Amino acid sequence: MSVVKHFIEEAIKKTQINEFLQKELERAGYGGVDITKTPLGTHIVVHAMRPGVVIGRGGESIRDLAEILEERFELPNPQISVAEIEIPELNAYVVASRVASALRRGIHYRRAGYWALNNSRDAGALGVEIVISGKLRGRRAKYEKFRGGYLPKSGEPPLRYVRKAEIHVQLKSGILGVRVQIMPPDAVFPDRITLVAAEPKEEEVVQAKEEEVVQAKEEEVV
Protein backbone atom coordinates (compact mmCIF):
# COMPACT_ATOMS: atom_id res chain seq x y z
CA MET A 1 0.00 0.00 0.00
CA SER A 2 1.35 3.41 -0.96
CA VAL A 3 1.89 6.10 1.65
CA VAL A 4 -0.72 8.39 0.07
CA LYS A 5 -3.37 5.67 0.04
CA HIS A 6 -2.57 4.79 3.65
CA PHE A 7 -3.10 8.37 4.86
CA ILE A 8 -6.33 8.66 2.87
CA GLU A 9 -7.72 5.48 4.40
CA GLU A 10 -6.71 6.61 7.89
CA ALA A 11 -8.43 9.98 7.36
CA ILE A 12 -11.61 8.25 6.15
CA LYS A 13 -11.57 5.91 9.14
CA LYS A 14 -11.15 8.80 11.58
CA THR A 15 -14.08 10.63 9.96
CA GLN A 16 -16.26 7.53 10.28
CA ILE A 17 -15.28 7.11 13.93
CA ASN A 18 -16.04 10.76 14.59
CA GLU A 19 -19.50 10.50 12.99
CA PHE A 20 -20.23 7.34 14.96
CA LEU A 21 -19.24 8.94 18.27
CA GLN A 22 -21.31 12.04 17.50
CA LYS A 23 -24.47 9.90 17.39
CA GLU A 24 -23.45 7.48 20.12
CA LEU A 25 -22.40 10.13 22.67
CA GLU A 26 -24.87 12.91 21.89
CA ARG A 27 -26.31 12.82 25.44
CA ALA A 28 -22.80 13.12 26.88
CA GLY A 29 -22.17 16.41 25.07
CA TYR A 30 -19.63 15.00 22.62
CA GLY A 31 -16.86 17.44 21.74
CA GLY A 32 -14.41 15.57 19.52
CA VAL A 33 -11.91 12.72 19.66
CA ASP A 34 -8.12 12.35 19.51
CA ILE A 35 -6.76 9.05 18.19
CA THR A 36 -3.11 8.08 18.63
CA LYS A 37 -1.54 4.77 17.71
CA THR A 38 1.00 3.40 20.19
CA PRO A 39 3.14 0.24 20.32
CA LEU A 40 0.63 -1.22 22.81
CA GLY A 41 -2.52 -0.40 20.82
CA THR A 42 -4.67 2.67 20.17
CA HIS A 43 -5.02 5.54 22.63
CA ILE A 44 -8.37 7.32 22.27
CA VAL A 45 -9.27 10.52 24.11
CA VAL A 46 -12.97 11.42 24.00
CA HIS A 47 -13.85 15.03 24.85
CA ALA A 48 -17.27 15.36 26.46
CA MET A 49 -19.24 17.72 28.66
CA ARG A 50 -20.50 14.85 30.86
CA PRO A 51 -17.73 12.24 31.24
CA GLY A 52 -19.88 10.13 33.55
CA VAL A 53 -22.29 9.35 30.72
CA VAL A 54 -19.42 8.13 28.55
CA ILE A 55 -17.96 5.95 31.31
CA GLY A 56 -21.25 4.52 32.55
CA ARG A 57 -21.96 2.69 35.78
CA GLY A 58 -18.89 0.71 36.77
CA GLY A 59 -17.25 1.55 33.44
CA GLU A 60 -19.72 -0.61 31.51
CA SER A 61 -20.46 1.95 28.77
CA ILE A 62 -16.82 2.72 28.03
CA ARG A 63 -15.98 -1.00 27.81
CA ASP A 64 -18.82 -1.56 25.35
CA LEU A 65 -17.62 1.43 23.33
CA ALA A 66 -14.09 0.00 23.20
CA GLU A 67 -15.42 -3.33 21.90
CA ILE A 68 -17.42 -1.61 19.14
CA LEU A 69 -14.44 0.46 18.03
CA GLU A 70 -12.23 -2.62 17.95
CA GLU A 71 -14.68 -4.77 15.97
CA ARG A 72 -16.29 -2.26 13.63
CA PHE A 73 -13.32 0.00 12.90
CA GLU A 74 -10.53 -2.53 13.44
CA LEU A 75 -8.68 -0.47 16.04
CA PRO A 76 -6.11 -2.65 17.81
CA ASN A 77 -6.50 -2.77 21.61
CA PRO A 78 -8.33 0.57 22.04
CA GLN A 79 -7.70 2.30 25.37
CA ILE A 80 -10.30 5.03 25.93
CA SER A 81 -9.94 7.96 28.31
CA VAL A 82 -12.41 10.80 28.75
CA ALA A 83 -11.52 14.50 29.04
CA GLU A 84 -14.10 16.94 30.37
CA ILE A 85 -14.77 20.05 28.30
CA GLU A 86 -14.17 23.02 30.59
CA ILE A 87 -15.65 25.76 28.35
CA PRO A 88 -18.30 24.27 26.01
CA GLU A 89 -18.72 27.57 24.13
CA LEU A 90 -15.15 27.23 22.81
CA ASN A 91 -15.65 23.68 21.51
CA ALA A 92 -16.72 23.59 17.87
CA TYR A 93 -18.57 20.26 18.17
CA VAL A 94 -20.59 21.43 21.16
CA VAL A 95 -21.51 24.71 19.46
CA ALA A 96 -22.54 22.93 16.25
CA SER A 97 -24.62 20.42 18.25
CA ARG A 98 -26.40 23.23 20.09
CA VAL A 99 -27.23 24.99 16.83
CA ALA A 100 -28.50 21.72 15.35
CA SER A 101 -30.61 21.09 18.45
CA ALA A 102 -32.11 24.59 18.21
CA LEU A 103 -32.99 24.00 14.55
CA ARG A 104 -34.72 20.72 15.45
CA ARG A 105 -36.84 22.58 18.01
CA GLY A 106 -38.05 24.96 15.31
CA ILE A 107 -35.97 28.00 16.29
CA HIS A 108 -35.23 30.30 13.34
CA TYR A 109 -31.80 29.65 11.88
CA ARG A 110 -30.71 33.29 12.21
CA ARG A 111 -31.62 33.42 15.87
CA ALA A 112 -29.80 30.12 16.49
CA GLY A 113 -26.73 31.29 14.58
CA TYR A 114 -26.38 34.66 16.29
CA TRP A 115 -27.11 33.13 19.70
CA ALA A 116 -24.28 30.61 19.32
CA LEU A 117 -21.95 33.25 17.88
CA ASN A 118 -22.48 35.66 20.78
CA ASN A 119 -22.07 32.91 23.38
CA SER A 120 -18.71 31.86 21.94
CA ARG A 121 -17.49 35.45 21.71
CA ASP A 122 -18.57 36.12 25.30
CA ALA A 123 -16.60 33.02 26.38
CA GLY A 124 -13.41 34.57 25.00
CA ALA A 125 -13.15 33.26 21.44
CA LEU A 126 -11.01 35.52 19.26
CA GLY A 127 -13.04 34.68 16.17
CA VAL A 128 -16.09 32.60 15.29
CA GLU A 129 -17.73 31.58 12.03
CA ILE A 130 -20.97 29.59 11.78
CA VAL A 131 -22.37 28.53 8.42
CA ILE A 132 -25.86 27.03 8.14
CA SER A 133 -26.64 25.62 4.69
CA GLY A 134 -29.56 23.84 3.05
CA LYS A 135 -33.18 24.69 2.31
CA LEU A 136 -33.42 27.59 4.74
CA ARG A 137 -36.20 29.40 2.90
CA GLY A 138 -38.13 28.17 -0.10
CA ARG A 139 -37.20 25.25 -2.31
CA ARG A 140 -33.71 26.33 -3.29
CA ALA A 141 -30.73 25.54 -1.12
CA LYS A 142 -28.68 28.46 0.17
CA TYR A 143 -26.40 29.25 3.07
CA GLU A 144 -26.20 31.87 5.79
CA LYS A 145 -22.91 32.87 7.39
CA PHE A 146 -22.55 34.30 10.90
CA ARG A 147 -19.10 35.70 11.62
CA GLY A 148 -17.50 37.73 14.37
CA GLY A 149 -14.01 38.57 15.60
CA TYR A 150 -10.70 37.70 13.97
CA LEU A 151 -10.59 34.43 12.01
CA PRO A 152 -7.86 34.23 9.33
CA LYS A 153 -8.32 31.77 6.47
CA SER A 154 -4.72 31.19 5.43
CA GLY A 155 -1.32 30.74 7.02
CA GLU A 156 -0.14 28.71 9.99
CA PRO A 157 -2.50 29.99 12.76
CA PRO A 158 -5.69 28.56 11.18
CA LEU A 159 -4.03 25.17 10.72
CA ARG A 160 -2.67 25.10 14.26
CA TYR A 161 -5.38 26.74 16.34
CA VAL A 162 -8.78 26.85 14.59
CA ARG A 163 -11.25 24.28 15.93
CA LYS A 164 -13.66 22.96 13.31
CA ALA A 165 -16.80 20.83 13.34
CA GLU A 166 -19.62 19.99 10.95
CA ILE A 167 -22.96 18.42 11.81
CA HIS A 168 -26.01 17.58 9.69
CA VAL A 169 -29.55 17.80 10.98
CA GLN A 170 -32.67 16.30 9.37
CA LEU A 171 -35.71 18.60 9.20
CA LYS A 172 -39.00 18.40 7.33
CA SER A 173 -37.66 20.73 4.65
CA GLY A 174 -34.57 18.57 4.16
CA ILE A 175 -31.08 18.18 5.56
CA LEU A 176 -29.29 21.25 6.92
CA GLY A 177 -25.56 21.46 7.48
CA VAL A 178 -24.01 23.32 10.40
CA ARG A 179 -20.30 24.16 10.09
CA VAL A 180 -18.47 25.89 12.96
CA GLN A 181 -14.97 27.34 13.19
CA ILE A 182 -13.60 28.84 16.40
CA MET A 183 -10.32 30.63 17.08
CA PRO A 184 -9.56 30.04 20.80
CA PRO A 185 -8.29 32.83 23.08
CA ASP A 186 -4.84 31.23 23.50
CA ALA A 187 -3.98 31.46 19.78
CA VAL A 188 -0.70 33.20 18.94
CA PHE A 189 -0.36 35.25 15.74
CA PRO A 190 3.02 36.06 14.18
CA ASP A 191 1.84 39.48 12.99
CA ARG A 192 0.81 40.63 16.48
CA ILE A 193 3.66 42.09 18.55
CA THR A 194 3.55 42.65 22.30
CA LEU A 195 5.83 45.35 23.73
CA VAL A 196 7.61 44.37 26.94
CA ALA A 197 9.41 46.86 29.19
CA ALA A 198 13.17 46.38 29.02
CA GLU A 199 14.96 45.37 32.20
CA PRO A 200 17.53 47.93 33.42
CA LYS A 201 21.15 47.12 32.70
CA GLU A 202 23.53 46.23 35.53
CA GLU A 203 25.44 49.51 35.13
CA GLU A 204 22.23 51.52 35.45
CA VAL A 205 21.27 49.62 38.62
CA VAL A 206 24.70 50.28 40.20
CA GLN A 207 24.54 53.96 39.26
CA ALA A 208 21.05 54.30 40.72
CA LYS A 209 22.20 52.75 44.01
CA GLU A 210 25.22 55.11 44.16
CA GLU A 211 22.94 58.09 43.61
CA GLU A 212 20.68 56.89 46.44
CA VAL A 213 23.70 56.60 48.78
CA VAL A 214 24.93 60.11 47.87
CA GLN A 215 21.45 61.55 48.35
CA ALA A 216 21.15 59.86 51.77
CA LYS A 217 24.51 61.32 52.90
CA GLU A 218 23.48 64.81 51.77
CA GLU A 219 20.28 64.53 53.77
CA GLU A 220 22.28 63.50 56.86
CA VAL A 221 24.57 66.55 56.49
CA VAL A 222 21.59 68.85 56.21
Whether 103 shows a pLDDT value over 90: the answer reads yes
Q: Which pairing describes strands 163-171 and 174-183: parallel, antiparallel, or unpaired?
A: antiparallel
Can you give the residue range of the structural domain that contains 96? 88-183
Whether residue 149 sits in one domain with residue 68: no
Whether 220 shows a pLDDT value over 70: the answer reads no
What is the gyration radius of the CA atoms in the chain, in angstroms? 26
Note whether residue 162 is domain-resident.
Answer: yes
73 by Cβ neighbours in 10 Å (0-12 / 13-18 / 19+) ranks as: middle
Whether 106 shows a pLDDT value over 60: the answer reads yes
Note whether residue 208 is domain-resident.
Answer: no
Last residue of a domain, one of 84, 100, 133: 84
The pLDDT mean for the chain works out to 86
CATH number, position 38 = 3.30.300.20
Torsion, CA 133, CA 96, CA 70, CA 44, rounded to 10: 140
Note whether residue 203 is domain-resident.
Answer: no
48 by Cβ neighbours in 10 Å (0-12 / 13-18 / 19+) ranks as: buried
pLDDT digits (tens, 9 = 90+) for 53-82: 999 888 899 999 999 999 998 888 999 999
Report the number of distinct structural domains present in the chain: 2
Whether residue 56 sits in one domain with residue 101: no
In this structure, what are the phi and psi dihedrals at residue 14, rounded to the nearest 5 degrees? -65, -40
Whether 200 shows a pLDDT value over 70: the answer reads no
Note whether residue 143 is domain-resident.
Answer: yes
Whether residue 92 sits in one domain with residue 174: yes
| Residues 196, 148: Cα–Cα separation, whole Å | 29
| Residues 102, 112: Cα–Cα separation, whole Å | 6
Last residue of a domain, one of 84, 101, 127: 84
pLDDT digits (tens, 9 = 90+) for 147-181: 999 998 888 888 889 999 999 988 888 889 999 99
Whether 45 shows a pLDDT value over 70: the answer reads yes
Note whether residue 166 is domain-resident.
Answer: yes
Whether residue 127 sits in one domain with residue 139: yes
pLDDT band at 8 (very low <50, low <70, confident <90, very high): confident
Which helix (H) or strand (E) is 204 found in, with range?
A: helix 202-221
If you write DSSP's letter for every residue of 74-137 in order, what string do you get? --SSEEEEEEE-S-GGG-HHHHHHHHHHHHHTT--HHHHHHHHHHHHHHTT-SEEEEEEEE-SS
Whether 213 shows a pLDDT value over 90: the answer reads no
Whether residue 101 sits in one domain with residue 73: no
Note whether residue 178 is domain-resident.
Answer: yes
Whether residue 67 sits in one domain with residue 121: no
Choose between 215 and 72: higher pLDDT. 72
The pLDDT of residue 2 is: 75
Average pLDDT over residues 80-100: 93
Report the largest interatomic distance among the alpha carbons of the chain, rounded to a whole angstrom. 95
Note whether residue 212 is domain-resident.
Answer: no
